[in-house]
Amino acid sequence: MSSIQQLNERIQRESGFIQAVLSEIGNVIVGQERLVNRLMVALLANGHILIEGVPGLAKTLAVRTLASTINVQFQRIQFTPDLLPADLIGTQIYNPRTGEFTPRPGPIFSNIVLADEINRAPAKVQSALLEAMEERQVTLGDQTHPLQDPFLVLATQNPIEQEGTYPLPEAQLDRFMLKVIVGYPSRAEEREIMERMSGERPASPAPVIGPDAIRHARSVVTSIYVDDKIKEYILDIIFATRDPAASGMKDLAPLLEYGASPRATVNLIKAAKAHAFLRGRAYVTPEDVKQIAPDVMRHRLVVSFEAEAENVSPAHIIHQILSRVQVP
């Protein structure tokens, strides 16, 4: 018990910068607390995040603001149908004087990469990005170049105007730790947005921490305690998506074609640790798991034709599983 108390005190000290970062982001972004929280979770858990929402919800601004507060290199890439893999990862330039090829790195060689409207680029470009996300390295010619650390990909996609888009296959969606759905702001928040944007342009956020602090915070997050009962609870949730009938949810079995992958299990425990860190705790609670589980799982479940016919979404199935799996 004393070791947990010591770890708790350490977590509270180490997570002190979180409020400073959130304060700087709040000077620019109105509302969107869930999106900002999930951006921090992805950053601390060393995972990538897919953000979905209609245009004009400050998705790009939120990512750009986060990059400014942690003082890292940031690149925004607008994905379009004519984009080539070389536009993303770089290429080799031939030098006629020496007869050699010189690597020219692309925008992927940054700490935070915003892939804006990722579903508007063809499969080759998506594959180049997702390979870099998984391997954290890029091969140009016969040379492999490691990417910087921290390296975080934040991709956005528009749920409307699907004409001329290239939807990400489920196997590629699985590479993202989180998928966050961004909704409209409340009336009071929109009034604040109107007041801010119709006056003087808000000041740019000041850097609060650097890459070294992020790497240190990640090492602290990995030390957060997870009880065996919490681990079993996570497994109960994951296995309920694969075989609902065996988990006592026969009514959900016809609605699911494929459940969550083992990558979902790993990402769920990592994200739950980061969620606890953001709250200054040295241990994971069932509430951490329940809060983060929808964002970890919503893009990993493949619903059946019957579910589509009945207009049953993955979000509804996840809600049913979380409400019926026994909490330790």
Domain annotation for the chain: domains and CATH numbers: 16-215 (3.40.50.300), 224-324 (1.10.8.80)
Residues paired with 92 in a beta bridge: 103
Pairing of strands 100-105, 90-95: antiparallel
pLDDT at position 316 over 80: yes
Mean pLDDT of 208-233: 88
Residue 87 and residue 77: Cα distance in Å, rounded? Answer: 9
The pLDDT assigned to 58 comes to 75
Which of the four pLDDT bands, split at 50, 70 and 90, describes residue 87? confident
> How much is the pTM?
0.86
* Tokens of residue 235, six digits: 């497994």
pLDDT at position 309 over 80: yes
The pLDDT assigned to 233 comes to 94
Which of the four pLDDT bands, split at 50, 70 and 90, describes residue 203? low
Q: Which residues contact 60 (CB under 8 A, 6 or more apart)?
A: 76, 114, 116, 156
Which of the four pLDDT bands, split at 50, 70 and 90, describes residue 202? low
CA-based nearest residue to 89, from 121, 47, 49, 44 = 121
Least confident of 125-134, 271-280, 294-303, 316-325: 125-134
